[in-house]
Structure 1
Amino acid sequence: MRHQKIANPDHGEWLAAFDQVRIINLRSRTDRRNETMREFTRYDWPIPDSRVSFFDAMAPQEAAGFPSAGVRGCFLSHLGVLREAWRAGCGSVLVLEDDIAFTRDMDRQASMAVRSLQEQDWDIAYFGHDYGNQPGDLSWIPVLEPRPLAHCYAVNGRALPALVAFLEQVLQRPPGHPDGGPMHFDGALSTFVKRTPGVRAFRCSRNLVYQRPSRTDLHAVSVLDRYSWLAPVAQLYRAIKRLYWRRVR
């Protein structure tokens, strides 16, 4: 991608910087799927299309050493996306989870981000993270102590073989293994970056993609989601929270 040119990076064409754009979504979570589609249509970005598509998330019944069955399913789903991209010979893949929300002025900022990324020699790029926004012009900052989340990140095709192999090794190790056993996927990705010589990971100086408030599938749900009669309260609370974050981010 370093020398790949984007014909028109405005109006959602930042997505054209990647060979594949995959959105991980459980079939049962039509609420998240619909909300994600609304995020795209806010910017008139077609979804799905030949480049952007949903990936059916895996839902195992057993934790098999992971913190929960949901955490295992998340890990396997990310691995599935990356394995498919590697086998397809993709030059790059952008991976999103189904609870993403784009920052304001996303068209312009995403265009700036991919133009800047083109100038970097990169392997993994985090468009969404928990570092907050840095002052000054938009840029890409090397990740020295990995801790970003994994709701929106890109992988250069050249890094896919090593990353897929590492994740498959994680599956074979027992919990707590010093080289990395079953864990949350974002932790596994961070471990790969930290332990693999030569891997160049960057985070955008601005958090362009954050996570919407929604019911979790990874662990025990909150009180608001535990009882069906509280569902309207939970929906209202999250709707208000989403509107607030949309105004300030």
Structure 2
Amino acid sequence: MDVVDYFDRARIINIASRTDRRSETLDEFARNGFHLDNDKVGFFEAVTPSEANGFPSLGVRGCFLSHLGIIEEAIRLNVDNLLILEDDIQFSKRISQYGKDAIASLANMDWDIVFFGHPFEGNAGSPAWKVVDQPIHLAHFYAVNGTFLVSLRDFLYQILERPPGHPDGGPMHYDAALNTLIHSNDQVRAYYFTWNLGYQRPSRTDLHQLSLLDRVHVLRPVMTLLRRFKAHKLRQLR
């Protein structure tokens, strides 16, 4: 069993207009032998709000609501565990080897949230699960235990109901919300796998202001080609 198939349900967040990201994610899954069946494993159409409502941008709010929507869907379906990915996922070239080790260990652990992808350097000597003891500023490849889904959903709604700048945390980036929950509640059992199993693929952002080169229509195809070349090179290295 691979790291995707292990979970009761897996969802990949994708904005309908980003057919480029969807296509590249399909290639990424196929390249690593992961199957999408649009039932157990499939895409989730991202929320695209018309107002930021206190969030740093429309895209940040849409990302937050999309993760929340997947969690709510999983609660309705009463899933045992849930894997969430974003559509710029690029798997580590070692995911076949270490992914099996990760899920074999996970099956014998008590956990609430686990991160397969993170910004930390991999530990090839002793890949293992480690308690989250520092902020993880990414949420592109993580899982939630079914027993923790309701608690996570309720916390996210608290974030939505607070005003910006609230001392307990108001509207914020989704990964910041996860960090706030983990580091404000020592009862949350959160871990990350020390060998990073998934990175963010070079891709045009939907969360922040675009660079000048991305804003110029005639240059956008050039940027796309450059990012694909960079992704190809990174795929060989990590």
Taking structure 1 as the reference length, the TM-score comes to 0.92
Quote the sequence identity (%). 50
Q: Is the 8 A contact 2:94 2:197 kept in 1?
A: no
Give the deviation of 1:49 after TM superposition.
4.1
Runs of at least 5 residues in structure 2 that lack an aligned partner in the other structure: none
Q: Tell me, in whole angstroms, the C-alpha distance in 2 between the residues paired with 1:117 and 1:154.
A: 11
SS of 1:17's equivalent? coil
Q: Is the 8 A contact 2:113 2:191 kept in 1?
A: yes
Q: Tell me, in whole angstroms, the C-alpha distance in 1 between the residues paired with 2:191 and 2:176.
A: 16
> Which of 189, 209, 215 is the matching residue for 2:178?
189
Give the deviation of 1:196 after TM superposition.
2.4
Q: Tell me, in whole angstroms, the C-alpha distance in 1 between the residues paired with 2:174 and 2:195.
A: 22
Residue 100 of structure 1 is matched in structure 2 by 89
Q: Is the 8 A contact 1:138 1:205 kept in 2?
A: yes
**Alignment of 1:71 onto 2:57:** no
The size of the alignment, in residue pairs, is: 238
Give the deviation of 1:105 after TM superposition.
3.0
Amino acid at match of 1:15: V
Residue 69 of structure 2 is matched in structure 1 by 80
Q: Is the 8 A contact 2:84 2:140 kept in 1?
A: yes
SS of 1:41's equivalent? helix
Residue 40 of structure 1 is matched in structure 2 by 29
Q: Tell me, in whole angstroms, the C-alpha distance in 2 between the residues paired with 1:182 and 1:138.
A: 35
Q: Tell me, in whole angstroms, the C-alpha distance in 2 between the residues paired with 1:181 and 1:83.
A: 20
Q: Tell me, in whole angstroms, the C-alpha distance in 2 between the residues paired with 1:48 and 1:220.
A: 34
Q: Tell me, in whole angstroms, the C-alpha distance in 2 between the residues paired with 1:77 and 1:50.
A: 18
**Alignment of 1:166 onto 2:155:** yes
SS of 1:16's equivalent? coil
Give the deviation of 1:145 after TM superposition.
2.4
Residue 60 of structure 1 is matched in structure 2 by 49
SS of 1:199's equivalent? coil
Stretch deviating more after TM superposition (71-80 or 127-136): 127-136
Q: Is the 8 A contact 1:89 1:157 kept in 2?
A: yes
Q: Tell me, in whole angstroms, the C-alpha distance in 1 between the residues paired with 2:38 and 2:222.
A: 35
Q: Tell me, in whole angstroms, the C-alpha distance in 1 between the residues paired with 2:58 and 2:37.
A: 28
**Alignment of 1:139 onto 2:124:** no
